[in-house]
Amino acid sequence: MKTYDQIKINGKVYSQRSIQNLTEDFPSALSQEVLEFLQIWFNKEKTITQQTSGSTGSPKIIKLQKKALVASAKITGNFFEFHKKMNSLLCLSPNFIAGKMMIVRALVWGMNLILGKTDSNPVKDLVEKIDFSAMIPMQLANIVQQNPEKLGLFKTIIIGGSAIPLTLQKQLLPFNTDFYHTYGMTETMSHIALRKLNGDTKTYFKPLPGIQLQQDKRSCLVIKAEALGIKRLITNDLVHLQADQSFRVLGRWDEVIISAGLKIHPQLVEQKLSQHLHKPFVVIGKAHETAGEIAVLVVEDQAVTSQIFAYWQLLEQLLEPAEIPRQLFFIASMPILASGKADRKSLQKII
C-alpha cells in the first residue's frame, strides 16, 4: 500500500517528520485530535482501532485495516471527482470514523484540509470556499437557521450519523450546494451508499461502485465490498431493497415495536412527525401486560395540559391508528449519545 505520508492542512504541507508542529501552527482541540490520529496513521501498524456505533450489534472496539480506509477514500473521491486543488472542511471529531475519513481523503487525494470547528454551527467564521465537507444533521440545521448564506461557500456536503428530518430536507432544496445523505457505519469505513437530497426527491440510497447488497431472513441489510475487505457484513438495519440495489431504511431490527402482534417502525413514525414536532422527541417501546409492548412518545417539553391535548390531536392527524403512541412522556432534557443520536436505552430505563 502506498504510504500517503504527507498531508496539506490549512494550506501547509506536513510530513511524518513535521506533523508534530501542527498544534503549534494551529493551536486548538481539533488540531490535537488530528495530530493524534496522524501519529497513528504514520506508524508501522497496518490497522487502527475504533469503537463501533452499534449498527451491527452492541458497540465494541474493532480493528480497521488502513488499506481499507484508503480504498474507501478512493471510492468516495472517484464518485465526487476529488483533486489536489480542492478544499475540504473538517468539522467532525477524528475520534469518530466520519472525522477520520475526512483526514484520510485529504491524505489520499492531496486536498487541502481546513480545520474548522466541531460545534453545533461550524461555519460562523468560515470565509474560504469549500469543495467537500461532512456534517451531522444537527450542524446543518443550525447553519440553515443561523448562517444560511454560508452554504453558498460549499460545493458538496455529505450528511450522516442519523436520520434527516423532512423539514430540514425541504429547507435544503433552494440551495445550489449538493447535499447527500449517507448510509454507512464504522465497520464500512464510513458510507457505502448515498441519497441526493436536493434535485432528486427519491427516498432510496444508491450503493457506491463495488458495493453489493443483500437481505438476511430478518430483511436486514447485508453488505459485501471486496475493496473494503468486507466479505459479509450483517447489519441490524431493516430495509426495502430493490432489484437495482437501491434501498430504503425502515428502521432498526432491534428497535421494532411489536404491539399486539403489529410491527411498528419507530423511525418511520418519527419521520412522519418530524415536520410538525419542533422539540427533540423519539418513539420507543414500553413493556405492556397484555399487548407485550406499546409505542410511547417521549418529548423534551413541559407537561402543560394544553400542550398534552395539542400533542394528541397532532398524533391523530398525522399517524395511522396502529402507529399512534399509546402514552406521552415529557422529559426536561433528552439524553444524547456521543454520536448525537437520542439515547433510546437510557430513555427506556427512565420511563
Contact criterion met (CB below 8 Å) for 334 and 280: yes
Tell me the pTM: 0.85
Rounding to the nearest 10 degrees, give the CA dihedral for residues 200, 88, 137, 140: -90
C-alpha dihedral sign at 182, 130, 20, 14:
positive
195 and 50 share one domain: yes
Residue 47 covered by a domain: yes
Q: Are residues 176 and 260 in the same domain?
A: no
Domain boundaries, position 137: 6-210
* End position of a domain, from candidates 190, 210, 230: 210
Residue 54's pLDDT is: 59
Residues 200, 295 within the same domain: no
Is 233 among the domain residues?
A: no
Here the CATH number for the domain that contains residue 312 is: 3.30.300.30
pLDDT the model gives residue 60: 80
* Number of domains within the chain: 2
Residues 205 and 345 in one domain: no
In a domain, 267, yes or no: yes
Domain identity same for 161 and 16: yes
Note whether 65 and 149 are same-domain residues: yes
Give the residue among 318, 340, 314, 317 at the shortest CA–CA distance from 96.
Answer: 340
CA angle 204, 210, 211 (to 5 degrees): 45
Q: All 3 cell numbers of residue 172? A: 435544503
CA distance 315 to 296: 11
Tens-digit pLDDT string for the chain (351 aa): 677 889 999 999 999 999 999 999 999 999 999 999 999 999 999 999 998 765 555 678 899 999 999 999 999 999 999 999 999 999 999 999 999 999 999 999 999 999 999 999 999 999 999 999 999 988 999 999 999 999 999 999 999 987 888 888 889 999 999 999 999 999 999 999 999 998 655 689 999 999 999 999 999 999 999 999 999 999 999 999 999 999 999 888 888 898 888 889 898 899 889 888 888 899 999 988 888 889 999 999 888 787 888 899 999 999 999 899 999 999 999 988 766 678 888 888 888
Look-up: residue for cell 402514552?
A: 327
- Whether 204 and 261 map to the same domain: the answer is no
Q: Are residues 160 and 34 in the same domain?
A: yes
Looking at the domain assignment, is residue 168 inside a domain?
yes
